[in-house]
Structure 1
């Protein structure tokens, strides 16, 4: 009697396993995104990235930040903060897809030894990824999600992913090779694995986008909106008060006009830079949010946003800059901020005589220490309005702090807790990662424009820009052309919007010459101190150097 020998199925290649893992990971991303937008469950790719930013050595994180800023600047990829955030999110997605690709590779390798064991291997792989994910989410507190619901959801997603990927790996080899005894045809396999994964990915992302399609500034809770500035007061100068109050609208209106092409003196909320430690901004419900004030105080407090709005408010025009901003970079802006003085809020609780600093904590796990001297400064505010509107989500809704003369790294957003301590050390989030513990703003000057007015004979040239030195003010700006060694004084557009803002300047003294020219600028602080001209890295204390602009005229 003749016997038939069953044909051994064609094994799935490692390359195919790799691509199947990557392809199905995209579908998982779509499912996770839909769950995040529908029920607030964790969006794992971004959470893994955020977790890595917390656990990796500070030197690595700082190096990555500096490389991104340099790359964005060198390639002119766009506004730095939003482009950097997009790059972070892209890296997070690529990392997750890479993890899926490795899982597919491992299953293809395991299936060569025991093809029938692939379903178990897939579940085991999904379980490993699930365990890692739960550890990550646990360290981050699961965000705003219910821990039980989120855990069950993630269990279903990751075990389902492992099982489905194992099934695809099981079918891929015979189907793609056209084996006669393959469980599915080549076309059926490609439709299921390729088109099916793509459909799930697009459906998940589309559903999530539809469910989460709401303005970034939409948040529930009590909202105060400042009276709009008068038509003859475009900066809202008349709304300001306190020691950093602005000049009168009449004084500001009488100033010299800026050089055409100079940036706006007041930055719109949408254009203000955003730097924070998470891929997505914290979203806080203003109805339930409370500011906890405790530690070495007489009366611990839980204050609502409405409670803070009942306190006397101060409005200030001020400039803020990121410590990682390169010379001439765009991680800076000037806005009108409103809120109670921090010292008035602290007075409600009563500080112990032992207090030396405040530990300020935020909803995104950021924290920083504020010295008692800074906390008692009349210009230090707990801010809830930005340019007369509730703080946008990206900029710290419902509450952030402003401290004069410090870079933005010292000024937490999304504040949830203030603890009065007797600690003198200032080992905040970025300080322990290698940045300056004081973060005092350094003097800087920037050329925004070299404008040629061809309507005159001969044409005239106006050079314009800004200069800033924190609370110390600017006394003089000088411009040099073509490395001549001759520095000529520019005209300051005085008074500035406030003692805390940048000052615009213009220079009209250069005689028109066609061709390529290089202009440089430097500034002097209010007491006559020249800015640091030597080129220096942003880390650890802020970038230094002379800004230049090369133009063809």
Structure 2
């Protein structure tokens, strides 16, 4: 009897997993069936210790930053998806190796062992997929066909390899030729079938996960004329009189397609708008179940806001500014009738995320349940159909894909708070150099325009200063007033030209006059601090 080695089992398990991936991708694209590698990876990351997940995030973002890859959120999401696929392939390879050890070259046992290995994958896949919602019968049948089929194929190929080895035993030349033909034939067959399936899925995928509405436009200044309340924008004629930002500074309003996306999902939840309801329950006199249309019929509030991820590094791009439209949380809670002992709202989301809103934020007229971004419905990746905005908080405190508001008599848990991140998540004052532009003439003097942003949550920015080559700190000009009291401020500074390589640094002061923290601290647990600097040759 000729056995098949564990290493051969590893190879066959990994190779056939590529075909399984192609079929799973086809099912996800064509019928929105669960994509098991992503579901399993999300399941694993949600049960691992928070400190381990945080360490992994830090390493990943540090590597992306060191390599200079932008946008950070896109690169991070692709890296996570790549890790999920790698975990699936490695897991399949290990199962293939175990099938080879158990079967010991026997055809029937190889097939049975392969199917058992597929059943293990199927069980884990269904369990992981159920975390997003109970899979449909059709989805379970599809997953069973793909994963049990993978196991049968894996076992069958290992049995075939053992048969070739038996027939060529004692004939080295024929054995080598048989091994090579098996290897090339297996690779060619799997690669050809997988390529065809991936191509079909690619054609179907855009329609299967299309974001609702265009996602490439930024709001224009005339769009913000309808803002209201304590965070209303200045009049258009006031904004038109401001100085111009330096060419190359990021847009004052971030296009939807460029707005960062950080969440706990490898793919965004796809919520059916017709079936979705917002539940309001707990310590209320009149529990509610509201459709999106009912929420949109309530008095709307629009305000320009800046949102920053607590994982953002100094000078990072996990920050953006948009015009958001929604209803005041307080108004919706008033409709439900808050009871006297209500102290917090526990928020639940379609992806399993959860957070708690304290009483002061509940009553803040700037706290919104948002359904539009830059005058367009929220895209799937940004929280369709409903997300929350809370002033002066990092994004980790602001769930997307909201499904339930539970009013309680005490603060509740938060997903990232339980994993070691800040309970308050208040943004630090930060400032960033976006660009050191080409020299230009200014009244007979050559100057170098330098531009960027400064942000301090809802505290606002009172001044920005720039330092060149370790010299004195000089005041920059603010593009003021900002678009709202809740957003970043653009700034510009014109430095007297001197040829050569120079180091530019920037610092900001919030609306109270307090300087930003210069001590270098990592993002975890309270957000990064330090001074941004840029070395440029002019």
CA contact (8 A) 2:22 2:198 kept: yes
Q: Report the equivalent of 2:225.
A: 238
Alignment of 1:337-356 (within 5 A): 337-356=324-343
CA contact (8 A) 1:427 1:437 kept: no
Residue-by-residue CA offset, 1:52-110 (whole Å, 9 max, x unaligned) = 12100000111111111111111012210011000000000000000111112112222
2:7 is aligned with 1:28: no
Q: Report the equivalent of 1:167.
A: 156
2:524 is aligned with 1:536: no
Q: Report the equivalent of 1:421.
A: 408
Residue-by-residue CA offset, 1:334-382 (whole Å, 9 max, x unaligned) = 1001111111111111111111100111111111100121011111111
Q: What CA distance in whole angstroms lies between the structure 2 residues aligned with 1:102 and 1:467?
A: 50
CA contact (8 A) 1:18 1:104 kept: yes
TM-score (norm 2): 0.94
**How many residues align structurally?**
531
Specify whether residues 247 and 177 from structure 1 end up closer, same or farther in structure 2 by C-alpha distance, changes over 3 A only. farther
SS of structure 2 residue aligned to 1:452: coil
CA contact (8 A) 2:347 2:406 kept: yes
CA contact (8 A) 1:300 1:349 kept: yes
CA contact (8 A) 1:178 1:186 kept: no
Q: What CA distance in whole angstroms lies between the structure 2 residues aligned with 1:21 and 1:215?
A: 29
Alignment of 1:130-149 (within 5 A): 130-142=122-134, 145-146=135-136, 148-149=137-138
Specify whether residues 393 and 140 from structure 1 end up closer, same or farther in structure 2 by C-alpha distance, changes over 3 A only. closer
Q: Report the equivalent of 1:504.
A: 490
Q: Which runs of 5+ in 1 are unaligned?
A: 1-7
Q: 1:397 aligns with which of 365, 384, 397?
A: 384
Q: What CA distance in whole angstroms lies between the structure 2 residues aligned with 1:543 and 1:445?
A: 12
Q: Report the equivalent of 1:96.
A: 88
Between stretches 56-65 and 452-461, larger displacement belongs to 452-461
SS of structure 1 residue aligned to 2:60: helix
Q: How far 1:173 moved relative to its partner?
A: 4.2
Q: What CA distance in whole angstroms lies between the structure 2 residues aligned with 1:187 and 1:298?
A: 74
2:41 is aligned with 1:55: no
CA contact (8 A) 1:367 1:429 kept: yes
Q: How far 1:270 moved relative to its partner?
A: 0.3
Specify whether residues 116 and 289 from structure 1 end up closer, same or farther in structure 2 by C-alpha distance, changes over 3 A only. closer
CA contact (8 A) 2:322 2:374 kept: yes
Q: 1:333 aligns with which of 320, 329, 338?
A: 320
Q: Report the equivalent of 2:306.
A: 319
Q: How far 1:528 moved relative to its partner?
A: 0.6
Between stretches 452-461 and 19-28, larger displacement belongs to 452-461
Specify whether residues 16 and 113 from structure 1 end up closer, same or farther in structure 2 by C-alpha distance, changes over 3 A only. closer
CA contact (8 A) 1:360 1:369 kept: yes
Q: Report the equivalent of 1:381.
A: 368
Alignment of 1:380-529 (within 5 A): 380-424=367-411, 426-454=412-440, 459-484=446-471, 486-508=472-494, 510-529=495-514
Between stretches 372-381 and 323-332, larger displacement belongs to 372-381
Q: Report the equivalent of 1:71.
A: 63
2:33 is aligned with 1:41: yes
Specify whether residues 235 and 534 from structure 1 end up closer, same or farther in structure 2 by C-alpha distance, changes over 3 A only. farther
Residue-by-residue CA offset, 1:481-509 (whole Å, 9 max, x unaligned) = 1123x11111111100111110111111x
SS of structure 1 residue aligned to 2:356: strand
Q: Report the equivalent of 1:213.
A: 206
Q: What CA distance in whole angstroms lies between the structure 2 residues aligned with 1:50 and 1:528?
A: 43
Q: What CA distance in whole angstroms lies between the structure 1 residues aligned with 2:40 and 2:72?
A: 23
Q: What CA distance in whole angstroms lies between the structure 1 residues aligned with 2:208 and 2:84?
A: 23
CA contact (8 A) 1:273 1:331 kept: yes
CA contact (8 A) 1:31 1:200 kept: no
2:284 is aligned with 1:297: yes
CA contact (8 A) 1:216 1:394 kept: no
What is the root-mean-square deviation in Å for CA atoms of aligned residues?
2.4
CA contact (8 A) 1:178 1:185 kept: no
Q: How far 1:240 moved relative to its partner?
A: 0.8
SS of structure 1 residue aligned to 2:284: coil
TM-score (norm 1): 0.91
Q: Report the equivalent of 1:199.
A: 192
Q: How far 1:127 moved relative to its partner?
A: 2.1
SS of structure 2 residue aligned to 1:214: helix
Q: Which runs of 5+ in 2 are unaligned?
A: none
Q: Report the equivalent of 2:252.
A: 265
CA contact (8 A) 1:12 1:172 kept: yes
Q: What CA distance in whole angstroms lies between the structure 1 residues aligned with 2:211 and 2:312?
A: 29
Q: How far 1:130 moved relative to its partner?
A: 2.1
CA contact (8 A) 2:14 2:93 kept: yes
Q: What CA distance in whole angstroms lies between the structure 1 residues aligned with 2:363 and 2:275?
A: 28
SS of structure 2 residue aligned to 1:459: strand
